[in-house]
Amino acid sequence: MYITITPQKLGSTFSQSAADYVEYLEKENQNLEIEDREHFFNQDGEKLSAQEVVRNINGNTFPLT
Q: Give a yes or no: residue 63 inside a domain.
A: no
Q: Is residue 50 part of a domain?
A: yes
- 28 assigned to some structural domain: yes
- With beta carbons less than 8 A apart as the criterion, state whether 52 and 65 touch: no
Structural domain contains residue 13: no
Return the pLDDT at 28.
87
Domain count, the chain: 1
Report field, pTM of the whole predicted structure over 0.95: no
2 assigned to some structural domain: no
User: Does residue 3 belong to any structural domain of this protein?
Assistant: no
- pLDDT, one tens digit for every residue, the chain (65 residues): 666 666 555 555 545 678 888 888 889 888 889 889 888 888 888 888 888 888 888 887 555 55
Q: Considering only CA atoms, give the Rg of the chain.
A: 13
Spatial separation of the C-alpha atoms in residues 41 and 65, rounded to whole Å: 31
Residue 1 lies in a domain: no
Q: Domain span at residue 28? A: 19-58
24: in domain: yes
Residues 18, 6: Cα–Cα separation, whole Å? 10
